[in-house]
Chain A
């Protein structure tokens, strides 16, 4: 088995570029959805909000400034090939350094505090990033990154449903969570739902679901149909762009699933604002 050596600096520079670019350039999945929504809205207010968002993306990409001042907490899902050895540093520190330099050199906001309850002192470089690493076969490192704003993160929820709750229980919890969030998470939102696994696995899947392009579906057609149905139901709620009324409360519902225990059916709902920033890189 051949070992591949990767210099820590290469990982740092890839992560830096990833976070700077995702903050300046929105994905075409989101931009297309906003443009489509603009055609579907009838109220002047809803149209005006959407045109401000589309114009905002033009300015952000044109001037390379962040789309939103909340440049989020950095979250990375890493698939780490088992034939890789890091030289001149550690994998974790290489990633943290990439995030640190992106937020400092890229004029991104530093929004992380060191202690959640007592001190709440800003770390001034947006670290630590949240890193989930999975060891896979191979000699590549694949990084899926997201910068998660907390206006929408705060509107997320998890529930340990009993299996008897069934599909109706799953739907109800997701819809209740979106309804409770109402105008706060910067609609039109992206809803990420993680179903199955354990308590924390469901939450991680929900986060990962928000990082999947919204023009894609779950591979199981039953869940794909559920994604479409929930999107329609959410858009009947009427919150609309900025919560000021309209038919576009969400632009996407993404579901991720995992095997679970005979006694349980965990459902986690992670809400993301319309600035659904995500980007992938393979080293």
Chain B
């Protein structure tokens, strides 16, 4: 299985193809519906973002609380399509990768191809298993959103699959 480290370089992104399974090591941002809405509104107003997203990978997740002795609670992916409205603006700002589950809009795929971005999938519902690869969690922004805040995850061998690559190819079955 291919091992990749974050941050992603353009060369690594170019070498990733839809359907490949990968193990990801490094640090990534997290964010889902509410955080995306806030980032998007700041970009629209041309205001600075509370976290730098250039070159980053963002994981669509709202983790469950950590039990004592665990660094993080179960933390599987949430459905990506809900972020589609906001995604092209983030990709234009330099975001290089996304991790979620399920389909993306054509507008997102077009923006991925234009910006050289990769979309990974993690297995939805495998949250306890996935949390084993998350070693550290820090809150970066929007703490008031609780589980929807922006965190920084430090991961080791985080299991994922390349769902849509930077060439626009998709590993999803059917016409999705």
> What residues make up the interface of A, taking CB atoms closer than 8 Å to B?
45, 48-49, 52-53, 55-56, 59-60, 63-71, 107-111, 120, 122, 124, 151, 154, 179, 182-186, 237-240, 242-246, 273-275
Encode contact with A along B139-161: 1 for CB under 8 Å, 0 otherwise: 00000011110000000000101
Q: In the complex, which residues of chain B have a beta carbon less than 8 angstroms from the beta carbon of A59?
A: 128-129, 132
Extra A-B contacts (6), CB below 8 Å, given A56-B125, A183-B176? A66-B64, A69-B64, A107-B65, A183-B102, A186-B124, A237-B174
B106 CB to closest chain A CB, in angstroms? 14
| Smallest Cβ-Cβ distance to A244: which chain B residue | B171
Interface size for B (C-beta < 8 A) is 44
Q: Are B146 and A110 in contact (CB under 8 A)?
A: yes
B78 is an interface residue with CB less than 8 A from chain A: yes
Is B61 touching A182 in the complex (CB atoms < 8 A)? no
- Chain B residue at minimal CB-CB distance from A239: B173
Contact A243 B172 (CB under 8 A): yes
Identity of the chain B residue whose Cβ is nearest the Cβ of A240 in the assembled complex: B173
**Is residue B19 contacting chain A, with contact meaning CB distance below 8 A?**
yes
CB-CB under 8 A for A244 and B161, given A154-B79, A184-B81 = yes
| Chain A residues closer than 8 Å to B176, beta-carbon distance | 182-183, 239, 243
Residue contact A65 to B70, C-beta cutoff 8 Å: yes
Q: Are A109 and B65 in contact (CB under 8 A)?
A: yes
Q: Bound state CA distance, A45 and B159, in angstroms?
A: 12
> Which residues of chain B are within 8 angstroms of A55 by Cβ–Cβ distance?
126, 129
Q: Is B62 a contact partner of A111 (Cβ separation < 8 A)?
A: yes
Q: Nearest Cβ distance between residue A175 and chain B, in whole angstroms?
A: 13
Contact present for B126 and A56 (CB under 8 Å): yes
Contacts of A240 in B (CB 8 A): 173
Contact A53:B102 (CB < 8 A) given known A182-B176, A183-B172, A243-B176: no
- Chain B residues with Cβ below 8 Å from A273 are 124-125
Judge whether A183 and B127 touch: CB under 8 Å. no
| Interfacial chain B residues near A185, Cβ < 8 Å | 79
Tell me, rounded to whole Å, the shortest Cβ–Cβ distance linking B83 to chain A: 12
Q: Which of B73, B129, B145 has the most CB of A within 10 A?
A: B129
Q: Mark B165-176, 1 if CB is under 8 A from A, else 0.
A: 000000111111
User: In whole angstroms, how far apart are the Cα atoms of A134 and B124 in the complex?
Assistant: 34
Tell me whether A53 and B125 are in contact (CB under 8 A).
Answer: yes
**Chain B positions 89-129 with a Cβ under 8 Å from a chain A Cβ:** 101-103, 121, 123-129
Interface residue ranges, B against A (CB under 8 Å): 19, 21, 34, 61-67, 70, 73-76, 78-79, 81, 101-103, 121, 123-129, 131-132, 145-148, 159, 161, 163, 171-176
- Which of A52, A63, A69, A70 is the one whose CB lies under 8 Å from B123? A52
Q: Select B74's contact among A60, A186, A245, beta carbons within 8 Å.
A: A60
Within the complex, which residue of B21, B125, B163 is in contact with A186, where a contact is CB–CB below 8 Å? B125
A158 to chain B, nearest CB (A): 20
Residues of B within 8 A of A60 (CB): 74, 128
- Asked if B127 and A45 sit within 8 Å, CB to CB, the answer is no
* B176 and chain A: residue at smallest CB distance: A182
The residue of chain A having its C-beta at the shortest distance from the C-beta of B19 within the complex is A45
Contacts known (A52-B159, A110-B147, A243-B102); A65 close to B124, Cβ less than 8 A: no
Instruction: From known contacts A56-B129, A184-B79, infer whether A124 and B146 are also in contact, taking CB-CB under 8 Å.
Output: yes
A182 to B161, Cβ gap below 8 A? no
* A182/B73 in contact, CB under 8 A: no
A65 pairs with B128, CB closer than 8 A:
yes
Beta-carbon nearest neighbor of B65 in chain A: A107
Q: Are B65 and A56 in contact, CB atoms less than 8 angstroms apart? A: no
Closest to A24 in B: B128
Would you give the shortest CB distance from B150 to chain A, in whole angstroms?
15
For A107, the chain B residues whose CB sits under 8 A away are 64-67, 73
Docked-complex contact A242 and B101, CB < 8 angstroms: yes
Q: Is there an interface contact between A109 and B173, defined as CB atoms closer than 8 Å?
A: no
- Separation of A151 and B32 alpha carbons in the complex (Å): 13
CB of B62 within 8 A of CB of A69, answer yes
C-alpha gap A185/B125 in the complex (Å): 10
User: How far, in whole Å, are A153 and B44 apart by their CA atoms in the complex?
Assistant: 31
Whether B161 and A69, one on each chain, are in contact in the complex, defined by CB atoms closer than 8 angstroms, is no
Measured CB to CB, the nearest residue on chain A to B163 is A244
